[in-house]
Amino acid sequence: MNPFQSLRDYEEFIYTLPQRFPSMSHSTLVVVRRGARVATVSGEIAFPNGYRLVVKERLTFDSGPVALIRYGYEVWHGSDKLCWYDSQPHPDTPALAGTHPHHKHILPDIKHHRVPAPELSFSKPNLPFLIREIERLLKL
C-alpha cells in the first residue's frame, strides 16, 4: 500500500530518511517538480566505509496517491559498482517474468546478469528496502 497521498508527503519521506536510518552518513537527494503532475528524485545517499546509493526516480502525482513510474538505483563501494536495480522492461527474459519489470543487475557480468527483484514496486517506496540492503553489507 502506498502511504503517500501527495507530493508533499513524499518530499517529507525523502527529507527525513536520515532521521529514520542513522546508518546514513549524508544524503543529497532532492525532489524536483517537472510539471503539474510529474516530479523526479535524484542524488546519492552515503554510508560508512565508502558505500553509497545513487537514486533516480520519476513520480506522478495526478489525482491519487504518488506513483513511482520509473526508477534506477545503483549500489557502489568506492569506485566499484556492486549492483543496480531498474524498471527497464526485459520481456524476452523469462526468468524476470515474475517480477516484471523489477529486476537487479549483479556481478560478474553486471550489464547482462539480471535477477528478479520482488522487493521493488511502483506502489510503495523502494528506498527503505535498498537502505537495509546496504546496512546488511555494512555488517560484513
- Report how far residue 74's alpha carbon sits from residue 53's, in angstroms, rounded to the nearest whole number: 6
- Which of the residues in the chain have pLDDT under 70? 1-2, 140
Q: What per-residue confidence (pLDDT) applies to 128?
A: 96
Contacts of residue 88, Cβ cutoff 8 Å, sequence gap at least 6 = 101
Domain map of the chain by residue range?
Answer: 7-138
Q: What pLDDT does 1 receive?
A: 57
- In tens, the pLDDT along 56-82 reads 999 998 777 898 999 999 999 999 999
Q: In this predicted structure, what is the pLDDT of residue 113?
A: 86
pTM of the complete model? 0.92
Contacts 24+ apart (CB under 8 A), 123-129: 123/1, 123/2, 123/67, 123/68, 124/1, 124/2, 124/3, 125/3, 125/4, 125/13, 125/68, 126/57, 126/68, 126/71, 126/73, 126/85, 127/14, 127/17, 127/45, 127/55, 128/20, 128/21
